Chain A
Amino acid sequence: MADLNHMLKLLNELDDQIVGCMRCGMCQSVCPVFAETGREADVARGKIALLEFLSHEMIKDAEAVKERLDKCLLCGSCAAACPSGVKALDIFIKARAIITAYLGLSPVKKAIFRGMITKPALFNNLLALGSKFQGFFTTPVNDIIGSSCSKLLSPLLGDRHLLSLADKPLRGNGTIDTAPGLSGLRVAFFYGCVVDKMFTSVGEAVLKVLRHHGVGIYMPVDQVCCGVPSLASGDLKSYEDLVRMNLKVFGKGDFDYILTPCGTCTSAFHHIWPLMNSGFSQSERETIAMLADKAMDINAFIADKLGVSKAEPAAGAKTVTIHDPCHLKKSLGVSGQVRTVLGANPNLKQVEMAGSDVCCGCGGSFNLQHYSVSTKIGKKKRDSIVATGADVVAAGCPACMMQIADMMSQAGDRIAVKHPVELYAQTLG
């Protein structure tokens, strides 16, 4: 069990935050889970009421509260729309840490977080092994999306259509450490787990863009997971271990910005690490604050710092539609920049989908625990994409890319799923 004082402190912070909820119910209008289930416990207001019961009457049925708290994508739509300014997302993250500390971590999660993700050498080796043997278990289904499915593993994976692990992870490039070029800028590149192991093309595109614009790169391969998956499962210990490992790697701060191609990772640096920093020493907290200041999404960096010019769509340009990932738009306010970045590609015409910032339903472990709700939400996103008639859908978050690919592949759509930076990189010689 985690340090009791620490938990009490979190509990008090929670009380101060939940009291601001005026029970107006306006969060119902934006919550993707509530839209599917119509159940009050699935929307922020209901969860906050449960937590109030929890902190005032102590824990009567913590399992039940946990179960309801877990049924949430942590998409932040409720917080972004709340008239009263209730930071529901922050509340849920803290609450999950408290409840998990109280109930203990499930054996499966313990194995994943404490036994694997916080042991980077083992984690990387396991996935390397996985990438070698995945071909034996899966059958390719959609060449445009690059997805496959597996009858053999279906007890584990359900009907999911998955993207393959990369033959060689991004870290296979080794640590990169170059001086600023023409731009005068030098950035740290935090690629995040999924880009490292699955979407290496996204990582390569980032490197290409940075090199093209004369930006110095610091890409250490001993960087580890940003910690959000652990935290979302309430595993404060793993989260803190991972953050500490990253602080060691990036703590010198000898770069102007720390860039990621993943909305969730950027919001981890920018928002979640400073929010959940009470377990760290003063000097660690200072490093966290420094990194929070320097953290930037790749699209924002290209649009705001490198400056790109708009290209008129060429004859025969393909159409692209844009999904705005929750953590990118709702936590970081990055959406216009994505359009700017894509606007630089003359081979693309942009077409907006209805509800571009409606959650795709992935939500990390939500997808594992509540696949049927996740799929219902994802199918709506798929329908909005298809309705635009686009050839490509762009999403600035690898988790959304996986979910959208799964949904479209299952429906047999022939629409490519790309990260905006990949599409931008195509324009560079």
Chain B
Amino acid sequence: MVSQSLKQAFVGIVGAENVMDAEADKHSYSYDAAVLDPVLPALVVRPSEMDQVGRIVKLCNDNGLPLTVRGAGSNLSGGTIPSKGGIVLLSNALNKILEVNEEDMYAVVQTGAITAKFAAAVAAKGLFYPPDPGSQAVSTLGGNVAENAGGLRGLKYGVTKDYVMGVNFFDVEGNYCKSGSKTVKCVTGLNIPQLMVGSEGTLAVMSEFILKLVPPPQAAKSMMAIFPDIMTASRTVSAIIAAKVVPCTLEFMDNFTIGAVEGFAKVGLPTDAGSLLLIEVDGHPAQVAEEAEKVEAICKANGCTRIQVAKDAVERNKVWEARRAALSSLARLRPTTVLEDATVPRSKIPAMMQALDKIAKEYKLTIGTFGHAGDGNLHPTILCDRRDKEEFHRVEKGVDAIFEAALGLDGTLSGEHGIGLAKSRWMEKETNRASVLFSKRIKAAVDPKNVLNPGKILGE
């Protein structure tokens, strides 16, 4: 609960129409895309000017009110669930693209700008912003930076962190802080921009970013390679990289997912195939032609039973239609979709797939797996009905077993979806106690009252 006078203080900052405290509104800010129980905030505020943000943060800190920033609420780890109540600050009205600099190839943009719209705006100026999470049509750049979001092009182009040159933010006392630079090289002081990347709203409220842009690739070629089993596909992934070809995209789908995609999107995949790789190479046309040939030969040499190289844009789109349909096709099979993010070193994908198979059998779960094979980032997707308590209990156990397996294979809890609430209790297992304490000391130093997104990443 927030007192009437405190509510009036927020109204004084953003106006009555941008403060919501009706129960019916609070419900719609109690969840995100993670399958976790909802928690209602006390109040929701929607600033549209940057100076309002600083005043909101200060007000929260002065009153010890938890503050959770919400972009699109599309994160998959509970990052925007206001688990301690308090204030939800909506960033989606702070969405201006302030500068696109073609000469120096950077852009300055506000936190609430939508990823795909930003990418389109820079593309219109002949530049390229590569990070492309599957949620880019709705996700905000602030959410991307806070989660260090990845995407389909991660293998060659890296993820969000590789494009963050500067971050401006409000500290918990509401002071406006600048960090980073518009220069390609900058080693002034601590690397604060990179500290902000992946901090999930626990250290500061970010306001603007300086993002690196690159020249767009001149050409691209896509192909779909079908394999009898998971081992041959994984071997192929390693062989492609060993041959010094770095595709921009190297995606994977297991037999179950292939069946689901074919059942729904009907793109002509063989449902008896063990697994499938979707590969795209890009760059200079001559290099693309050469690399595409190389990749095709490697696939064939490693047991690929069929390969379909896209001849034109229509065929290329078909390849990506299959990939885009993966999650949708799985999600339609059962009411609840638990999308996980276990990531292992590339060479351990077969071992991880075996582990997933075992987990599915042991806990009697339906798991379809697809993901970014090129960087070992798999998305085992558990299909269930969360209304069935017994089944959901098995799902929770299965999820724990998935993390356990990934860590056992030198992997990580999260390749791109963040820790949030969902995985905080595993932090020590992946790193170690001293490391978690170190992070906690940083948090305590910059946010002594534990106001900023409390309980996320580091738990209680």
Is the CB–CB distance between A25 and B73 below 8 Å?
yes
Assembled-state Cα–Cα distance A414/B135 (Å): 40
Report the stretch among B23-31, B231-239, B424-432, B443-451 that lies at the interface.
B23-31
* Residues of chain A in range 49-63 having any CB-CB distance to chain B below 8 Å: 49-50, 53, 60-61
Is the CB–CB distance between B24 and A40 below 8 Å?
no
Is the CB–CB distance between B33 and A23 below 8 Å?
yes
Q: Assuming the A-B contacts A38-B93, A41-B25, A61-B23, are A28 and B72 also in contact, with contact meaning beta carbons closer than 8 angstroms in the complex?
A: yes
Q: Which residues of A contact B332 (CB under 8 A)?
A: 20, 84-85
CB-CB contacts of B21-56 with A at 8 A, as 1s and 0s?
A: 011110111111111001000000010000000000
Contact of A85 among B24, B34, B46, B331 (CB under 8 A): B331
Is the CB–CB distance between A25 and B74 below 8 Å?
yes
Is the CB–CB distance between A49 and B31 below 8 Å?
yes
B41 → chain A, closest Cβ, in Å? 11
Q: Which residues of B contact A68 (CB under 8 A)?
A: 24-25
Assembled-state Cα–Cα distance A29/B137 (Å): 6
* Residues of chain A in range 345-368 having any CB-CB distance to chain B below 8 Å: none
* Residues of chain A in range 3-33 having any CB-CB distance to chain B below 8 Å: 19-20, 22-26, 28-29
Assembled-state Cα–Cα distance A83/B332 (Å): 8
Is the CB–CB distance between B72 and A25 below 8 Å?
yes
Q: Which residues of B contact A50 (CB under 8 A)?
A: 24, 27-28
Is the CB–CB distance between B28 and A49 below 8 Å?
yes
B37 → chain A, closest Cβ, in Å? 12
B89 → chain A, closest Cβ, in Å? 13
Is the CB–CB distance between A40 and B385 below 8 Å?
no
Q: Assuming the A-B contacts A25-B33, A28-B72, A50-B28, are A19 and B387 also in contact, with contact meaning beta carbons closer than 8 angstroms in the complex?
A: yes
CB-CB contacts of B296-338 with A at 8 A, as 1s and 0s?
A: 0000000000000000000000000000000110011001110
Which residue of chain B has the shortest Cβ distance to A42 in the bound complex? Answer: B28
- Assess whether B178 is interfacial by the CB under 8 Å rule: no
Contact of B27 among A19, A38, A49 (CB under 8 A): A49
Q: Which residues of A contact B387 (CB under 8 A)?
A: 19
Is the CB–CB distance between A38 and B28 below 8 Å?
no
Which residue of chain B has the shortest Cβ distance to A52 in the bound complex? Answer: B27
B32 → chain A, closest Cβ, in Å? 7
Q: Which residues of B contact A60 (CB under 8 A)?
A: 23
Q: Assuming the A-B contacts A49-B31, A83-B328, are A22 and B74 also in contact, with contact meaning beta carbons closer than 8 angstroms in the complex?
A: no
CB-CB contacts of B180-192 with A at 8 A, as 1s and 0s?
A: 0000000000000
Is the CB–CB distance between B23 and A24 below 8 Å?
no
Assembled-state Cα–Cα distance A19/B392 (Å): 14
Q: Which residues of A contact B34 (CB under 8 A)?
A: 23
Is the CB–CB distance between A64 and B22 below 8 Å?
yes
- Assess whether B423 is interfacial by the CB under 8 Å rule: no
Q: Assuming the A-B contacts A25-B74, A25-B138, A84-B332, are A41 and B24 also in contact, with contact meaning beta carbons closer than 8 angstroms in the complex?
A: yes
Q: Assuming the A-B contacts A19-B386, A38-B46, are A84 and B138 also in contact, with contact meaning beta carbons closer than 8 angstroms in the complex?
A: no
Q: Which residues of A contact B385 (CB under 8 A)?
A: 19
Which residue of chain B has the shortest Cβ distance to A29 in the bound complex? Answer: B137
Is the CB–CB distance between B335 and A20 below 8 Å?
yes
- Assess whether A395 is interfacial by the CB under 8 Å rule: no
B321 → chain A, closest Cβ, in Å? 13
Assembled-state Cα–Cα distance A110/B134 (Å): 46
Contact of B135 among A26, A47, A65, A84 (CB under 8 A): A26
Is the CB–CB distance between A26 and B138 below 8 Å?
yes
- Assess whether B90 is interfacial by the CB under 8 Å rule: yes
Contact of B138 among A29, A46, A67 (CB under 8 A): A29
Q: Which residues of A contact B73 (CB under 8 A)?
A: 25, 40
Q: Which residues of A contact B377 (CB under 8 A)?
A: none
Is the CB–CB distance between B331 and A64 below 8 Å?
no
Q: Which residues of A contact B114 (CB under 8 A)?
A: 29
Is the CB–CB distance between B328 and A41 below 8 Å?
no
- Assess whether B453 is interfacial by the CB under 8 Å rule: no
Is the CB–CB distance between A19 and B24 below 8 Å?
no
Is the CB–CB distance between A84 and B28 below 8 Å?
no
Q: Which residues of B contact A45 (CB under 8 A)?
A: 28
- Assess whether B110 is interfacial by the CB under 8 Å rule: no
B173 → chain A, closest Cβ, in Å? 27
Is the CB–CB distance between B24 and A65 below 8 Å?
yes
Counting chain B CB atoms within 10 Å of each CB, the highest count among A20, A25, A38, A50 belongs to A25
Which residue of chain B has the shortest Cβ distance to A67 in the bound complex? Answer: B24
Assembled-state Cα–Cα distance A41/B138 (Å): 16
- Assess whether B92 is interfacial by the CB under 8 Å rule: yes
Is the CB–CB distance between B32 and A23 below 8 Å?
yes
Which residue of chain A has the shortest Cβ distance to B72 in the bound complex? Answer: A25
Which residue of chain B has the shortest Cβ distance to A65 in the bound complex? Answer: B24
Q: Which residues of A contact B32 (CB under 8 A)?
A: 23, 25
Assembled-state Cα–Cα distance A68/B38 (Å): 19
Is the CB–CB distance between A84 and B337 below 8 Å?
yes
B24 → chain A, closest Cβ, in Å? 4
A366 → chain B, closest Cβ, in Å? 18
Which residue of chain A has the shortest Cβ distance to B29 in the bound complex? Answer: A40
CB-CB contacts of B78-115 with A at 8 A, as 1s and 0s?
A: 00000000000010110000000000000000000010
Q: Which residues of B contact A22 (CB under 8 A)?
A: 33, 35, 331, 336-337
Q: Which residues of A contact B135 (CB under 8 A)?
A: 24-26
Which residue of chain B has the shortest Cβ distance to A26 in the bound complex? Answer: B138
Q: Which residues of A contact B327 (CB under 8 A)?
A: 83
Contact of B28 among A19, A29, A40 (CB under 8 A): A40
Contact of B328 among A25, A39, A53, A84 (CB under 8 A): A84
Q: Which residues of A contact B90 (CB under 8 A)?
A: 38
Assembled-state Cα–Cα distance A134/B22 (Å): 43
Assembled-state Cα–Cα distance A47/B93 (Å): 20
Q: Which residues of A contact B46 (CB under 8 A)?
A: 38-39
Q: Which residues of B contact A29 (CB under 8 A)?
A: 114, 116, 137-138
* Residues of chain A in range 112-130 having any CB-CB distance to chain B below 8 Å: none
Assembled-state Cα–Cα distance A39/B90 (Å): 9
Q: Which residues of B contact A61 (CB under 8 A)?
A: 22-24
Which residue of chain A has the shortest Cβ distance to B325 in the bound complex? Answer: A83
Q: Assuming the A-B contacts A60-B23, A61-B24, A85-B331, are A28 and B138 also in contact, with contact meaning beta carbons closer than 8 angstroms in the complex?
A: yes
Contact of B92 among A19, A38, A49, A83 (CB under 8 A): A38
Assembled-state Cα–Cα distance A269/B184 (Å): 61
Is the CB–CB distance between A46 and B28 below 8 Å?
yes
Assembled-state Cα–Cα distance A61/B92 (Å): 27
Q: Which residues of B contact A83 (CB under 8 A)?
A: 327-328, 331
Assembled-state Cα–Cα distance A46/B73 (Å): 11
A241 → chain B, closest Cβ, in Å? 31
Q: Which residues of A contact B22 (CB under 8 A)?
A: 61, 64
A49 → chain B, closest Cβ, in Å? 5
Which residue of chain A has the shortest Cβ distance to B93 in the bound complex? Answer: A38
Q: Which residues of A contact B33 (CB under 8 A)?
A: 22-25
Assembled-state Cα–Cα distance A45/B31 (Å): 10
Assembled-state Cα–Cα distance A196/B277 (Å): 57
Between A and B, 8 residue pairs with Cβ closer than 8 Å are A19-B387, A25-B32, A38-B90, A39-B46, A40-B73, A46-B28, A49-B38, A84-B332
Given A22-B35, A28-B72, A46-B28, 18 additional A-B pairs, CB 8 A? A22-B336, A25-B32, A25-B73, A29-B138, A38-B93, A40-B25, A40-B29, A40-B73, A49-B38, A50-B24, A53-B27, A60-B23, A61-B23, A64-B23, A67-B24, A68-B25, A83-B327, A85-B332
The 10 A-B pairs at the shortest CB distance, nearest first, are namely A46-B28, A83-B328, A64-B24, A29-B137, A40-B28, A84-B331, A19-B335, A25-B74, A28-B138, A41-B28
* Interface positions of B (Cβ within 8 A of A): 20, 22-25, 27-35, 38, 46, 72-74, 90, 92-93, 114, 116, 135, 137-138, 327-328, 331-332, 335-337, 385-387
* Interface positions of A (Cβ within 8 A of B): 19-20, 22-26, 28-29, 38-41, 45-47, 49-50, 53, 60-61, 64-65, 67-68, 83-85
